[in-house]
Chain A
C-alpha cells in the first residue's frame, strides 16, 4: 500500500465487550480483588518512559511485590496496558489494535506527559504526534511526569487497584523529606 493512501488517523478504539457469564455481585467482587492483585502488564514501550517502566519491574522497585511483574508479550494474556511514551501517528493504529486485541477485563495507564497530552510535542503545525492517548483509547489512570519516576508508576498501579476494588490496599508513603533542616 502506498504511503499516501494509508489511513493513519484511526477513529476511537472499539470498546464493546461481552457481558460476564456470571454477573453476580459477590462473585465479581472476589474476582475484582484477584484481578487487582495480579495485573499483568503488556511488554510494550513506546519511548523513554519505557526505561522507567523497566526499572519498575527490576530489583530496586520490584512490581512483583504487588503481583504485577509478569510482563506478558502477547496482548491476549495481559490485563494492563501501560502506554509508556510518545504516540506517533504511525504508531496510533497499532496502539488501537493492541487495545482491541486485549481480552475483556483490561485497564490502561497513560504514563508520562506525551501519553497524557502530547507533552513537549504540542506546538503549532506539528503533524506527527497524537496529542494524548485518550484520543484513541480509553484511559483509566494518568501518571504525570517527564518521565515519571518508577514510584510514580507504582502509585499508578495502586490507583488502578483502587479503581477496581474501591479501596486503597497499601499505606501511603511518608512525607518526602528535603535535605535542608
Chain B
C-alpha cells in the first residue's frame, strides 16, 4: 500500500506541512516584530506587560491576539454573498503556502527543485489580487468595493515592472530555476547580483512593497479613507487569514529578493540556511521600518510612479542587460 504512493508525493505532503508551520511561526514573529518596531520608532516600549514574568517584553502578545481572534464571533453581513465572502480569505492564504514549495532555503533544503520555480511563484502570488477582489466585492460594502478596485489597479500596474525586472535577472542567468539562480552567485557580497543589477533591485523592492500592500502603498486598506478597505466586514478568523496571508506574501517577496539579488543561501562562513534566514529577516525589518516611517502616497501618485518611472526604467534596465549579454 505504502509502496503505491510515489515518493515525490510524500515529500510534497511533508513539505507542505512544514511550510504551514513555518508560515504560522513567521506570522507570530512578524506580528510581534511589527508592534515592537512600531514602538521603537514612536519612542515607546510597545507590547511589554502581557504574559507571566518568565516571558518578559510581552513575548506572549501575538499568542493572545491569535487566540482572541479565534474566539471572536464570525459575521456574514446581510446582503453579502456568503460563499464568496468566506472563500476569499482561503483563496488569499492558500497560494502563499504553495509558493514556499519551490524556494531553496539552503543548499540541501528545498522541497521541489523545478526549473519553472520563478514562474510558479509569480503566477501564484497573482492569485492574491483575485482573493482581495472577491473579498471586497462579496462583502456588499462600499469601502470594501473601493478597496478591491484599488487593489486590482495597483496589482495589475505593479506586476509589469516586476516581471520586466525579473526578466533581466533571468536573461543574466539563463534559468528560471531558483536554486540555480542562487547557486550561480558567489559567497561574497560583491559577487551577488545586487552589484550587477542595482536598479533592478530597487525597482523590485518597490514593486514588492506594492504587491504585498504594505505602506507606503497600502491603499487597498487605507485606514484613514476606507475604514479598513477590502477587509472592512471581516471579523475574527477571516481578518486573521488576510493578515496571515499578508505576512506570508511579505516573506515570499523577501525570499525572492534574497535569492535574485542577495545570493540566496550563499554566504562566507555560516551554513546556507542561516544566511538565507538572516537576509530574509533583514529585508522584512526594512519593510516594517518603511511602513512606520513613511506616509501613504495618493492614488494618482502611486500609479504615476509605476507607469511614468518604474516601467520605463525597467525596460531600460532590460535593454541594457540584453545589450551587455549580446556583447
Which residues from chain A sit less than 8 Å from chain B, CB to CB?
17-18, 20, 30-31, 33-35, 37-38, 43, 58-60, 62, 64-67, 69-70, 72-74, 76-77, 79, 103-105, 169-170
Please indicate the chain B residues that have their CB under 8 angstroms from the CB of A43 in the complex.
Answer: 223
A73 with B46, Cβ < 8 A, contacts A30-B67, A38-B68 known: no
Additional A-B contacts beyond A34-B65, A67-B49, A74-B231 (12; CB < 8 A): A37-B60, A59-B42, A59-B44, A65-B45, A65-B48, A69-B35, A70-B65, A72-B228, A74-B228, A77-B239, A79-B68, A103-B236
Question: What are 10 pairs between A and B in contact, CB < 8 Å?
Answer: A18-B73, A34-B67, A65-B46, A65-B47, A65-B49, A76-B232, A77-B228, A104-B72, A104-B73, A105-B73
Given known contacts A37-B61, A67-B64, A74-B228, A103 and B39 CB-to-CB distance under 8 angstroms: no
A128 to B223, CA, bound (A): 30
Q: Are A65 and B58 in contact (CB under 8 A)?
A: yes
CB-CB under 8 A for A67 and B50, given A73-B227, A76-B232, A76-B235: yes
Report the separation of the CA atoms of residues A80 and B48 in the bound assembly, to the nearest whole angstrom. 20
B64 touching A34 by the CB < 8 A rule? yes
Q: How far is the CB of A39 from chain B (nearest CB, A)?
A: 8
Give chain A's interface secondary structure class: loop
A103 CB contact (under 8 Å) in B60, B74, B224 = B74
Contact of B61 among A35, A38, A62, A77 (CB under 8 A): A38
Closest to B65 in A: A38
Q: Distance in Å from the Cβ of B128 to the closest Cβ of chain A? A: 20
Q: Shortest Cβ distance from A157 into chain B, in angstroms? A: 11
| Residues of chain B within 8 A of A104, CB atoms compared | 72-73
The answer to whether B72 and A103 touch across the interface, beta carbons within 8 angstroms, is yes
| Cβ–Cβ contact B49 & A66, under 8 A | yes
Say whether B73 contacts A62, CB under 8 Å: no
Given contacts A38-B65, A64-B47, A65-B58, contact A105 B39 (CB under 8 A): no
CB neighbours (8 Å) of A169 from chain B are 49
Q: How far is the CA of A144 from the CA of B116 in the complex (A)?
A: 64
Query: Is B108 an interface residue, CB under 8 A from the partner?
Result: no
Chain A residues within 8 Å of B239, by CB: 76-77
How far is it, in angstroms, between the C-alpha of A126 and the C-alpha of B61 when the chains are bound?
46
**CA of A33 to CA of B71, assembled, Å:** 11
CA distance A59 to B292 in the complex (A): 14
- CA of A39 to CA of B70, assembled, Å: 14
B71 nearest CB neighbor, chain A only: A31
* Minimum distance in angstroms from A44 CB to a CB of chain B: 11
Contact with A along B23-61 (1 / 0, CB 8 A): 000000000000100110011111111110000001011
Which residues from 145 to 169 on chain B have a C-beta closer than 8 Å to any C-beta of chain A?
A: none
Q: Which residues in A have their C-beta under 8 angstroms from that of B236?
A: 103
Q: How far is the CB of A107 from chain B (nearest CB, A)?
A: 12
By a CB distance below 8 angstroms, the chain B residues around A18 are: 73
A78 to B277, alpha carbons, bound, how many Å? 34
Q: Is the CB of B63 within 8 A of A74?
A: no
Report yes or no: A62 in contact with B45, Cβ–Cβ below 8 A.
yes
Please determine whether A38 and B64 come into contact, CB atoms closer than 8 angstroms: yes
Among A35, A65, A67, the most chain B Cβ lie within 10 Å of the Cβ of: A67
Using CB atoms, name the residue of chain B closest to A67: B50
- 3 interchain residue pairs of minimum CB distance: A104-B73, A103-B73, A34-B67
B75 near A103 with CB under 8 A, answer: yes
Residue in contact with A67 in the complex, picked from B58, B71, B223, CB distance below 8 Å:
B58
**A72 / chain B contacts, CB cutoff of 8 Å:** 228
- Cα(A31)–Cα(B70), bound, Å: 9
Give chain A residues whose Cβ lies under 8 Å from the Cβ of B72: 79, 103-105
The reply to whether B48 and A34 contact each other, CB–CB distance below 8 Å, is no
Cβ B43 vs Cβ A59 within 8 A? yes
- Separation of A73 and B50 alpha carbons in the complex (Å): 23
* Given A37-B50, A67-B58, A76-B233, A62:B64 Cβ within 8 A: no
